[in-house]
Amino acid sequence: MPMSKRAVAEFLGTLWLVLGGCGSAVLAAGFPKVGIGLLGVALAFGLTVLTMAYAIGHISGCHLNPAVTLGLWAGGRFPAKDILPYILAQLAGGVAGAGILYVIATGVANADIGGFATNGFDALSPGKYTMMAALVTEIVMTFFFLVIILGATHEKAPAGFAPIAIGLGLTLIHLSSIPGTNTSVNPARSMGVAVFVGVEAITQLWLFFVAPIAGAVLAGFAYKWLGAANPAPETKQA
């Protein structure tokens, strides 16, 4: 598949993730007074990945996330030469999705976008969690997200079920970490909405690049080691 088509697929998929996932938080979480809540937002993020995995997985692999791209590279599943165009497409898609959401969210009288689903720590954390708590959360959650992705897409995994496992995995991650950081595990998702909020959110973006990428790369190397060191049981016993 030509890189141009793969990059467009990543752009559209990441746009959908931010529009659908962050849109559920901004527009529907508390609407009106009784909305979809934390569970609904977590499901929305999982559903964006699940639906796009079936829609564009055969085109680009449906990374939608710079951390996923780098984690797959670390795991030996993605070539280094394709990393930059994928990440640029994902970051652009995140900003585009947030831009569409901003137009919608400000389309009412006296609109107030609030935090606009940004990620943060200390005062910007939903539960006022510290920077260290946020750092640990994002590293660990992204680590296990990549473990799920690498396992679900392994050649020995049941065919056709990977999007379900990955979507449910992202849902679980959001259920666990929305109170701490508003859940990133994805630099493109974090940057997209932050640029529409302002300096305070942007100054904390570094953590939501560094921590997810660190967790993903660690998972890639760890899963590559696990796969190499542990042959299938029937092979080991033969």
- Overall residue count recorded for the chain in this entry: 238
237 part of a folded domain: no
pLDDT of residue 34: 72
pLDDT of residue 229: 47
Q: What would the pLDDT profile of 129-147 be if each residue is shown by its tens digit?
A: 999 999 999 999 999 999 9
Higher-confidence position of 235 and 116: 116
Q: What would the pLDDT profile of 66-81 be if each residue is shown by its tens digit?
A: 999 999 999 999 999 9
pLDDT of residue 1: 85
Q: Which two tokens mark 11?
A: 């752009």
234 part of a folded domain: no
pLDDT of residue 24: 96
Helix (H) or strand (E) holding 50, with range, is helix 37-60
The number of CA neighbours under 13 Å toward the Cβ of 215 is: 29
In sequence order, the 6+-apart residues with CB closer than 8 A to the CB of 219 are: 71, 74, 75, 142, 143, 144, 145, 146, 147, 150
Q: What would the pLDDT profile of 78-97 be if each residue is shown by its tens digit?
A: 999 999 999 999 999 999 99
pLDDT of residue 232: 44
> Euclidean distance between the first and final Cα of the chain, in Å?
39
100 part of a folded domain: yes
Give the domain CATH number at 146: 1.20.1080.10
152 part of a folded domain: yes
Q: Which two tokens mark 158?
A: 């049941």
Across the chain, mean pLDDT equals: 93
Q: What would the pLDDT profile of 143-169 be if each residue is shown by its tens digit?
A: 999 999 999 999 888 889 999 999 999
Residue 158 DSSP label: P
236 part of a folded domain: no
- Domain of residue 225 covers 3-229
Buried b (16+ CB within 10 A) or exposed e, 10-38: bbbbbbbbbbbbbbbbbeebeeeeeebee
Separation CA 69–CA 138 (nearest Å):
16
16 part of a folded domain: yes
C-beta neighbour count of 201 within 10 angstroms: 21
Per the structure, how many domains does the chain have?
1
Higher-confidence position of 157 and 30: 157
Q: Which amino acid is at 28?
A: A
The model carries a pTM of: 0.93
